[in-house]
A = this chain, B = another copy of it.
Amino acid sequence: MIGRLNHVAIAVPDLSAATALYRDTLGATVSDPVPQPEHGVTVVFVELPNTKIELLHPLGENSPIAAFLERNSSGGIHHVCYEVDDIIAARDRLKEQGARVLGDGEPKIGAHDKPVLFLHPKDFVGTLIELEQA
């Protein structure tokens, strides 16, 4: 069912510093910061040959990564995103097997303008998983 690893998301307390780290120290290609107010984050995309890293910084109030950064003040890996061909079929299959989908269980339009869902980390060995329609 799961396909490509779309991205690894890293929550960072200082977006400029994290961007410089990936660009200058690790020598990767990075984007400009992209504010995504509807998702409560500003994102810098780190392009790797086979996938991408997304550096996430809180934007506005009630950012979904604010609590994570309170617990992990240096930053840390926040979630992984796997692509699926059919997000509704994937959701239904997961729910049948007892996995919990976060929120109201309906896909939302994600940061790449595609439907996404998040799965409960307690059902997936402590890992927050985003599913994105491929």
Contact = CB atoms under 8 A, between A and B. Distances in A.
A122 B73 CA distance: 10
Interface stretch (A22-30, A32-40, A58-66): A22-30
Number of copies: 2
A10 B125 contact: yes
Contacts of A2: 26-28, 48
A111 interface: no
A17 B17 CA distance: 38
Contacts of A72: 126
Interface of A: 1-5, 8, 10, 12-13, 17-18, 21, 24-28, 48-51, 53, 55, 72, 74-77, 80, 82, 93-94, 97, 99, 121-122, 124-127
